[in-house]
Chains A and B, each alone.
Chain A
Amino acid sequence: MFPFYLLSIFVFDVFACEPNEIHIREQIISSYTKDDGTRVSAHLRSEHCRLLKEVQFFQNIPRDESKKIKTQFKNWRKEDQKIVQDILNGLPNWLKQYQLGELLRADTLEANHKNPALTIPRSKTLVIFDSFFKENNKREIIIHEMAHIAVWDFSEIELKEFLLLNGWSFSANKPPQPPKQLIKADSQNSPSEDFANCIEIYYSNPEQLKKFNLKSYLKLESLIMNKEKK
């Protein structure tokens, strides 16, 4: 028992990564030789936060997990880049702080041709599809996607309070149960989807959110205000 607790104190440190950082999981590094001939033996690299570099921004070729998305990736056109960049520049401050790991361009998502954008929160990847450029609510779409990344950075207490107020519940041996009344049909998919929908509507139609659930609206407002102050 004793060694485990000692271990847990030192190994499981807190990694509250900044919005311009990415979380890297614990991994085994194989032995390798440096350019200067130094040999490094295999070792366990602890989890850590890594700073995202701006050069990784608008990309034409996907990396790692993004390659698994069933779509046809394509090169960015300058005019498309400008549309997206202008929206990113005009995001609310707390969302604007989020640096993306990858910003990719693709034609359509194989499983859902109408999808205008897609996020992979782990790698902070945002994929913009052709249909995005036909939509009138481009800003809301990007706010929604950024909320999918930001949701993982709220505190345990803050997020739980918001989800309970929104009607989420939990029973043993079952996935989390969605609220009986949903702000959008796909809110039932996951707490993250519900949160992203609420953030989107908070900026596009706050009155709708207030009428839907005043307590959850006020909680969301306080969460956003706290983030804006930081």
Chain B
Amino acid sequence: MKIYLVILFAFLISCSTKEKNLIQLDEFDKILKIMKTKKTQSIYELLGKPTKIRQDDRDPGIEIWEFDKSIEIHLTKIDKKVRFASMFFFRDFDNYTYLKKRFNNYVWIEKKLKDHVGDVATDMYSVEVPDLKIYFEYDNYSPKRKVMWIGFE
């Protein structure tokens, strides 16, 4: 009987470990966690070391830390405080539907933006998820509604 209990116990532990491994943070979770603390320590813990650090062309007081090309964190140069983060989101599926489902549990504010009268037809919208301080724009006339930049404050 004892041996059966030990086997059962070992099986339960292994199941729980497997589940823990499956519940991994995605890139959105990581950025949102960083934006909560706004500290460099959480950047290192969640994203590791930046692959590149560059100067912000428009603001000499800001430096930009790049991570694997798609994530960028903007920090003040002197005291290294996180100002905002961005992610270049240009995936090969319907980006809008993915984001809508990803942030399904939060208030989603969508506004129609003015379209440019040019040589390409656009149907532009802005999206705000105020609880998470997320902002992005998308063009409903683009094939997969790829959003390009997503901002996190």
Taking Cβ atoms with an 8 Å cutoff, the residues of A that contact B are 1-2, 5, 7-8, 11-17, 22-23, 25-26, 47, 65, 68-69, 109, 111-112, 115-122, 144-145, 148, 152, 154-157, 159-161, 167, 169-177, 180, 186, 189-193, 196
**B143–A118 contact, CB under 8 A?**
no
- How far apart are the CA atoms of A116 and B116 in the complex, in Å? 16
**A196–B120 contact, CB under 8 A?**
yes
- How far apart are the CA atoms of A169 and B152 in the complex, in Å? 14
- How far apart are the CA atoms of A173 and B116 in the complex, in Å? 19
- How far apart are the CA atoms of A81 and B75 in the complex, in Å? 55
Instruction: Among A12, A117, A145, A196, point to the contact of B93 (Cβ < 8 A).
Output: A12
**A14–B92 contact, CB under 8 A?**
yes
**B120–A172 contact, CB under 8 A?**
no
* Residue among A68, A120, A177 with the highest chain B CB neighbour number at 10 A: A120
**B93–A192 contact, CB under 8 A?**
no
Total number of residue pairs linking A and B with CB closer than 8 Å: 139
- How far apart are the CA atoms of A71 and B108 in the complex, in Å? 35
- When C-beta atoms are compared, the residue in chain B nearest to A9 turns out to be B22
B11 contacts the other chain (Cβ, under 8 Å)? no
**A152–B146 contact, CB under 8 A?**
yes
- How far apart are the CA atoms of A47 and B58 in the complex, in Å? 39
- How far apart are the CA atoms of A180 and B58 in the complex, in Å? 9
Taking Cβ atoms with an 8 Å cutoff, the residues of B that contact A are 19, 22-24, 26, 56-58, 69-70, 72, 83-84, 86, 88-94, 97-98, 101-102, 116-122, 126, 128, 133, 135, 137, 139-144, 146, 148-149, 151-153
Chain A residues in 8 Å Cβ range of B142: 121-122, 152, 192
**B19–A65 contact, CB under 8 A?**
no
**B141–A15 contact, CB under 8 A?**
no
- When C-beta atoms are compared, the residue in chain B nearest to A175 turns out to be B137
Instruction: Among A15, A121, A173, point to the contact of B153 (Cβ < 8 A).
Output: A173
- How far apart are the CA atoms of A191 and B142 in the complex, in Å? 13
Chain B residues in 8 Å Cβ range of A170: 72, 86, 149, 151
The 7 closest A-B pairs by CB, nearest first: A172-B151, A172-B84, A156-B90, A170-B149, A111-B117, A160-B88, A189-B116
| 9 contacting pairs across A/B (C-beta < 8 A) | A12-B98, A26-B97, A115-B118, A115-B119, A121-B120, A156-B70, A156-B91, A170-B149, A175-B137
**A1–B70 contact, CB under 8 A?**
no
**A5–B22 contact, CB under 8 A?**
yes
**B148–A191 contact, CB under 8 A?**
yes
**B119–A145 contact, CB under 8 A?**
yes
Instruction: Among A120, A160, A186, A193, point to the contact of B121 (Cβ < 8 A).
Output: A120
Known: A161-B69, A171-B151, A175-B137. A121 touches B93 (CB 8 A): no
Known: A112-B117, A156-B90, A190-B116. A177 touches B143 (CB 8 A): no
**A172–B152 contact, CB under 8 A?**
yes
- How far apart are the CA atoms of A117 and B119 in the complex, in Å? 6
Closest CB-CB distance, B143 to chain A, in whole Å? Answer: 5
